[in-house]
A and B are shown apart, each in its own frame.
Chain A
Amino acid sequence: MRSSRAANFAVTASVVFAAVMMILPNAVIIPASFNGENYITFPPRSLSTRWYATFLTDPVWRSATWNSFVVAFFTALAATVLGTLAALGLIRFPPRTRSLMVSMFLLPVIVPTIISAVALYGLLAQFGGRGGLLGVIIGHTIITLPFVVVNVIAALQQMDMRLEHAARSLGASPLRSFIHVTLPMIWPGIAAGAVFAFLVSFSEIVMSLFLTGSGSVTLPVQMWSGIRFEINPTVAAASSVFVVLSCAVVMLMGLLRRKQGKAVKP
């Protein structure tokens, strides 16, 4: 009896340890960002919003934030369209072939980003395409595509694919059967993929480090130089933007998951 209580205690202790470890770095960021000093500390010595003011007014930070939004928007768009199409194709293969193909589509998340970034950097440098936003968007689309594919496939797997057959037998063309039957049932999955692609692209750093030029610095790249080359507490203000964004995305994803569950249920 005593040993099982000790085991139980050990389990609880490691869960608490893990939880503290998970929460800690996030928890210090927002209070630290309201620090009034010239260097960052937690707990903050004095309170001020000066770093937010810098973040919101400094043209460097502003343009980086704008670039990130532009990149993330077009990345999400491209990845969602291509990924949804790919998922609709993949679902038509028998399960064994499909799972093999899906694991191929997952390669961009498995291969370390540093490698795909260096490789794409080399390719774009050859053709003079390096440094523009388009290159970054292409790089991010590569990385985010798997997430869209996986999300849409998951939605499609919840759906009875014979519903498409039913629609066809009732006179709907493939396109109309997609619009009237498939889309209403899988849109939450597609939306979840798009939201996720947006978040991943918005936060992506390694690809961006290699592919951005002076005119196309994204927010994470700007933060990177803020952390590495100057001790700049504006990074904390920028970080809290990410914390808020992540929270919003998590809630949105939860909502979409529930919607997906409802969409396929009769």
Chain B
Amino acid sequence: MNAPLPAYPRADTAAPPVFHEKEACMSGPDNIAKPKMGAAITVRNLSRFYGGTRAVDGVSFAVEAGEFLTLLGASGSGKSTTLMMIAGFVEPTAGQILIGGRDVSQLVPEKRNLGVVFQSYALFPHMNVFDNVAFPLKMRGIATDEIERRVQRTLTMVELESRRSYRVGQLSGGQQQRVALARALVFEPPVLLMDEPMGALDRRLREQLQRQVKEIQQDLGITVIYVTHDQEEAMLMSDRVGIMAEGKLCQIGAPREIYEAPRTPFVAAFLGESNFLRVRRTVVGWEICQENGTEAMVRPEDLRLLAKGESAPLRLEGRVRQIEFPGGAMRLVAETAAGLFEMRLHRHEATGLRLGQQVVLGWSDRDMVLFSDRPEGNA
């Protein structure tokens, strides 16, 4: 699949092709030329407390019309509760939700006009595919022939027109997911909320559907707020990602921005692999230290093995602890003075390396993220 890599790959050249592709849509909604049906969403200081537990604690963010925002976090981080508050199923303890400039905080769910795709779909088991998709149109009192036309169109969009009279139980997981999507889109809501929509699907199907959802979103120009715990899914699909933990929004930004400039060690560790250490600035460059100094992080793929006599802005001696091959790149774990360090190697590079062997790791200061000189806390 991948083209052969240079012997000592650097972070910027080693990025997989898809990463570059993402840049096109990453730069934000303002260069999307398509006519948009999406609406902007603003969430201000949104909180939900259950007794003493703060499920969501003062979350604020703004989503532009037509943007794809993912809330990423572990279970219990408050991401689903945030989504359910926007949908209107959970009443906020405090805060405001504006959709298209209108405050909807006091509005019942059915008046908010949002498409919601639920975790495990929540398709109506007593209705067939057509009736499921037609449901929101029936609730809006739309004429039968118009319903027929619009359901047909939407089912064609998700490639399920041949399954219109199937019962929900006769469909595969992926098909059910697409019915749920069709049902949430058929009434052309300006906003689509998706709560772990791919959670129940296997990996291959998930990738296929991710692409399909993304395409549909861009075709329709709809605003999407997507909730997932899968970081790869979040990075792949979103214009921006919001990382949530313990009810708070830790950082929000374009996937690459968060990956390359995480604001806290937590975000760094959550999104991708990371090696932590402490560094101090010297007259000539950088020095790795044990106690004082600034907390820093470097990604495994930004590390390289230094040959004898070769120099790098930062270097660290270590001993090989583990060499693993999870498929793709080799993973090397070295024991260093700063703790265990993980790095990626090309297969050919790893030949000849033995456990216990002394190695020197080197990296550029450009690839290193410093933490302590930035303010911690909310975005």
Q: Which residues of A contact B (CB under 8 A)?
A: 160, 162-163, 165-174, 176-177, 180-181, 184-185, 263-266
Contact = CB atoms under 8 A, between A and B. Distances in A.
A265 B125 contact: yes
A169 B117 CA distance: 9
B124 A163 contact: yes
Contacts of A174: 108
Given A167-B135, A171-B113, 10 more contacts: A160-B120, A163-B125, A166-B116, A169-B87, A169-B112, A170-B135, A173-B110, A174-B108, A177-B110, A265-B169
B341 interface: no
B187 A266 contact: no
Contact of A170 (B125, B126, B168, B187): B187
Contact of A166 (B113, B124, B187): B124
7 contacts: A160-B122, A166-B123, A167-B139, A170-B135, A180-B135, A266-B125, A266-B169
A165 B89 contact: yes
A185 B126 contact: yes
Contacts of A185: 125-126
Looking at chain A's contact residues, is the secondary structure mostly helix, strand, loop, or mixed? helix
Contacts of B112: 169
A165 B187 contact: no
Interface in B94-121: 108-110, 112-116, 118-120
B259 to A, nearest CB: 33
B226 to A, nearest CB: 15
Nearest to A180: B135
B88 interface: yes
- Count chain A CB atoms within 10 A of each CB in B113, B118, B122 and give the residue with the most: B122
A166 B179 CA distance: 13
B359 to A, nearest CB: 53
A170 B108 contact: no
Nearest to B168: A266
B110 A171 contact: yes
B60 to A, nearest CB: 23
A38 to B, nearest CB: 58
B126 A171 contact: no
B167 interface: yes
B126 A165 contact: no
- Count chain A CB atoms within 10 A of each CB in B87, B119, B126, B168 and give the residue with the most: B126
Nearest to B186: A170
Contacts of A163: 122, 124-125
